[in-house]
Structure formats: C-alpha cells, structure tokens
C-alpha cells in the first residue's frame, strides 16, 4: 500500500516535472519571437581565454545598452537581444562545431565569428552554408575574406594597414634604422602580419636581416634571440599574443638585447602587457585597429568614443582596448542593419550590412567587396611612461615617437 502510494507520488512528481519541462520549452519558443538571438562561439577556456573574455565583455556591454534602451527596433516593435555563448576551448575544429550548433540547435538569428583569423575563416564556411550574416570582430587577415562569401563581414582592416604607417613613421623619424629582424609566431594572424611587415619594410628600402617563426607554445626564445643579437638589428619586430610577447621581451632583457626600435603586435595595446613588463615595456611601439584615445562621433547606440569609454569604465572599472571595442561595434552594426532593414530576414540584413556606410564610435564603417572593412585608419602607438600613447593618425596624436628600447 505504502509502496503503491510512493509510486503514484513519484509518478505525480514526474508528470509535474514533465509539464514544467514542456512549459519551459514552449516558453522559450514564444520568448524567441520577442528576442533576437546572437550566437557567439568563443574560446572561453584554454590558451585564448584572455582574448575571449574581452570579446565577451564587449558583446555584453552592447547587449546591456540595447536592452536598457528597450531593444532593437524591428519594424514597429522593439525586440530585446540575447547573446548565446558557446565555449570551444581554444580548439579551432570545435569552433566550427560550436558555430554549427548555435545555428542549428540554438537557433540563433545572427552570428559573431569565433576569435582570430584562423577560427573565423574556418567557421565562416558554416555561416555561409546556412546563410547567416556573421560579423568577425577579431579577424584581420585578408585570407579570411577572399573566399567569395556573401555573409561574412569583418571590423578589422587588412594587416598591411598596421605595418605601412609604422614603417613610414620609423623611416621619417629614424632614418638611421636600416636592419630589421622579424620573429613571428607560426599562426595565421601573427605570421601574416610578419609577412606584411617584411613586404612593407622591403618596399621602403629596409633590409631584413632575420626572419624566423617560432612554434605555438614555445617556452623559450633564448636561441632565436641570440641569433637576432648576432645580427645587431636596428628594428626588432615580434608578433604573437600577449604571453609570447611578454616572454620574448623578458628574454631580450635577459640577453641585454637593445635596439632603437622594438615593435610588438598584438599585446602592447592591452594594459596587462604593460603591467606584466613594467619599465621594460617603455618605448615599445605597436599598432592596433582602435584606441581609446580616438574621438569619433557615431550614429550607433554608443554615440561617441568618449561615451563608449565612459560606459565601459562604469561597467568593468577598466579602460577598453580594441578587442572590447570591436566586439561592441559588431553588435552595434548588426543593430543598425536590422533597424534599417526593418526585419529579421537574414538576406535583407545581409544586404544592409553590405551597403552600410556610417560613422560609429569605432570610426567610419564601410565594408569592401570582400566583406572586410575598408574605411578605418588604424592607430600606431608607443608605450611611454607606462601608457600607450597614439603617434598616428595625426587627428588623435598624443605623443612624438621616441627611439631606444632597453
């Protein structure tokens, strides 16, 4: 008797639970009609986690601002936004699966690319297949966009837009600089950037005395640096991510390698890089796609660079860098395209993105025929007194270029 009671009790609980599950799911379906879902596959754990967390902060800030303002205007109604994150653990093949899962299972309306050029390129095949407009917030290499895809857009200009102004500044301010040593991480973006640097430098008559790659996960650069030292270059140009570059600079100090010009991309734009190196970061030059010192007025939800910086500081108690800003602007661009299209129809939103020509807090945005932005002038900067100071373009210049990195 007792057993029977228990069993029926259990059955009741089970049916209640089943009802709850059904209600939740139907809840989601009705919910989904009022919410625009954006998929964001990110390497939230693993080697690329620091960068992924920046992207997440950028997307979250945008979503928060949109929802605070009542949502995105689609035709006559306002729809809130929701960002669906999937962690692909810094594993590129998994980034592709994550993108596919977001589209087919989570039913997102639009997609942000995974981190970096390599993963963005890999995942773009999936979004193209399903016809989902996708914005890559952190992919600069031209090879990502040269596949003839219609649905992929990117907010970073090609790599040569970083290296050309750098070479121009150095040629102008330090005509004695002739011998260039390049050390590149053997990875899509850092290597492509190093190759662009080689091209830009050769075009301007500089001599490349050393060009070597180092493997991902390299724990020691001493031999490569000894070889560089033996060449006594005037300009050391190293590419990689923040951990690589911190280690390279530390080991340069260990071997007493000094040069008039030392350039590192991409790390010095991050405050963590400056904090990790202290005084030895002084006078390292770099370039990125945006800097908080920019002063753009925009038609996007953030309105201006100043306002973006302010909102970011309020939310995260730190200053934004280009990864944060690029992620936020990617959301803002989707928002403008959707509002202009007046519908969530993916093809129409895609067309609006392709047609877009607007000022934003990130700078003027216009995508070229491949989908990659063509309208930006990326800033060149240098670490002076523990701060990243903009050297170029002239409109936002904060300091003069200084020689000698110790």
Partner 1 sequence: MLVIQVLLNGIVLGSLYACIAVGFSLVWGVLNVINLMHGSFIVLGSYLAWGAYNALGLAPWTALLIAAPAFFCLGYAIQRGILNRVIAAPVLVTLTLTFGLDLMLNNAMLIGFKADYRRLILDPSLGTVSVGSLVVPTDRIVATIFALLLTLVLYLVLRRSRIGRAIVAVRMDRDASRLMGVDVPSIYAITFGLGAAMAGCAGVLLAMIYPISPIAAGSFLGKAFVVCVLGGLGSVPGAVVGGLFLGVMESFGSLAFGPEHSVTLSFGLLILFLIVRPQGLLGKRGFE
DSSP string of 202-223, one letter each residue: HHTT-EEEEEEEE-TT----HH
Answer for the pair 379, 371: CB distance below 8 angstroms, yes or no. no
Minimum Å gap between C-beta 398 and partner 1 is: 26
Nearer to partner 1, 127 or 286 (CB): 286
Minimum Å gap between C-beta 335 and partner 1 is: 29
Minimum Å gap between C-beta 225 and partner 1 is: 9
- How far is 136 from 120, CA to CA, in rounded Å? 7
Specify the DSSP class assigned to residue 386. Answer: T
| Residues of the shown chain interacting with partner 1 in the complex, contacts defined by CB under 8 A | 45-47, 49-50, 53, 90, 183, 186, 212-215, 217-224, 226-227, 230, 242-243, 246-247, 250-251, 253-256, 272, 275-278
Phi, psi of 206 (to 5 degrees): -85, 160
Minimum Å gap between C-beta 389 and partner 1 is: 22
Minimum Å gap between C-beta 90 and partner 1 is: 8
The token duo for 257 is 């390698």
Nearer to partner 1, 46 or 131 (CB): 46
In three-state secondary structure terms, 266 is coil
Nearer to partner 1, 236 or 276 (CB): 276
Summarize the chain as % helix, strand, coil (round to 5): 50, 20, 30
Residue with tokens 């400056």: 274
If we measure between CA atoms, which residue out of 372, 380, 336 comes closest to residue 152?
Answer: 372
If we measure between CA atoms, which residue out of 214, 192, 213 comes closest to residue 140?
Answer: 192
Helix axes 322-341, 346-355, angle to 10 degrees: 120
- How far is 406 from 400, CA to CA, in rounded Å? 18
Answer for the pair 333, 298: CB distance below 8 angstroms, yes or no. no
Beta strand segments in 105-149, E: 110-112, 134-136
Minimum Å gap between C-beta 246 and partner 1 is: 5
Nearer to partner 1, 115 or 149 (CB): 115
Burial group, residue 121, by CB count within 10 angstroms (0-12, 13-18, 19+): buried
Nearer to partner 1, 90 or 157 (CB): 90
Nearer to partner 1, 275 or 400 (CB): 275
Q: For residue 200, give every residue at least 6 positions away whose Cβ sits within 8 Å of its Cβ, in sequence order, or none.
A: 160, 163, 164, 166, 167
Nearer to partner 1, 56 or 200 (CB): 56
Minimum Å gap between C-beta 229 and partner 1 is: 8
Minimum Å gap between C-beta 181 and partner 1 is: 12
Beta strand segments in 88-223, E: 110-112, 134-136, 152-154, 179-185, 207-214
Minimum Å gap between C-beta 96 and partner 1 is: 21
Specify the DSSP class assigned to residue 267. Answer: S
- How far is 284 from 257, CA to CA, in rounded Å? 13
Nearer to partner 1, 2 or 219 (CB): 219
Minimum Å gap between C-beta 46 and partner 1 is: 6
The token duo for 359 is 């000022």
Nearer to partner 1, 186 or 370 (CB): 186
Nearer to partner 1, 226 or 299 (CB): 226
Minimum Å gap between C-beta 79 and partner 1 is: 33
Nearer to partner 1, 81 or 184 (CB): 184
């Amino acid at each position: 008797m007792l057993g029977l009671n228990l069993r029926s009790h259990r059955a009741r609980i089970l049916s209640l639970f089943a009802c709850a599950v059904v209600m939740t799911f139907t809840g989601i379906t009705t919910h989904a009609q009022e919410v625009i879902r954006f998929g964001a596959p990110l390497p939230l754990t693993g080697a690329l986690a620091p960068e992924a967390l920046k992207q997440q902060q950028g997307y979250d800030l945008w979503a928060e601002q949109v929802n605070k303002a009542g949502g995105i205007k689609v035709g006559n109604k306002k729809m809130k936004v929701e960002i669906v994150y999937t962690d692909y653990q810094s594993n590129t093949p998994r980034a592709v699966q994550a993108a596919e899962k977001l589209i087919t299972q989570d039913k997102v309306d639009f997609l942000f690319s995974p981190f970096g050029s390599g993963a963005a390129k890999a995942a773009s095949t999936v979004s193209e297949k399903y016809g989902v407009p996708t914005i890559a917030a952190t992919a600069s290499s031209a090879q990502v966009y040269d596949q003839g895809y219609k649905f992929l857009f990117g907010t970073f200009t090609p790599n040569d837009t970083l290296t050309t102004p750098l070479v121009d500044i150095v040629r102008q301010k330090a005509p004695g600089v002739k011998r260039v040593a390049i050390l590149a991480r053997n990875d899509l973006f850092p290597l492509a950037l190093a190759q662009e640097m080689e091209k830009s430098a050769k075009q301007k008559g500089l001599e490349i005395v050393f060009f070597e790659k180092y493997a991902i996960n390299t724990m020691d650069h001493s031999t490569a640096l000894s070889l560089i030292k033996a060449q006594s270059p005037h300009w050391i140009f190293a590419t990689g991510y923040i951990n690589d570059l911190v280690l390279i600079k530390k080991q340069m100090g260990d071997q007493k390698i000094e040069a008039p010009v030392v350039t590192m991309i991409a790390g010095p734009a991050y405050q963590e890089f400056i904090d990790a190196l202290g005084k030895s970061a002084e006078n390292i030059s770099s370039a990125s796609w945006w800097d908080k010192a920019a002063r753009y007025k925009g038609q996007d939800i953030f309105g201006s660079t100043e306002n973006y910086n302010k909102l970011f500081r309020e939310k995260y108690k730190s200053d934004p860098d280009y990864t944060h800003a690029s992620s936020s602007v990617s959301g803002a661009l989707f928002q403008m395209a959707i509002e202009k299209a007046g519908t969530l129809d993916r093809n129409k939103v895609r067309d609006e993105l392709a047609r877009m020509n607007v000022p934003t807090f990130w700078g003027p945005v216009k995508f070229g025929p491949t989908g990659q932005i063509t309208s930006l002038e990326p800033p060149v900067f240098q670490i002076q007194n523990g701060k990243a100071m903009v050297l170029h373009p002239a409109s936002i210049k904060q300091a003069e270029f200084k020689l000698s990195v110790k």
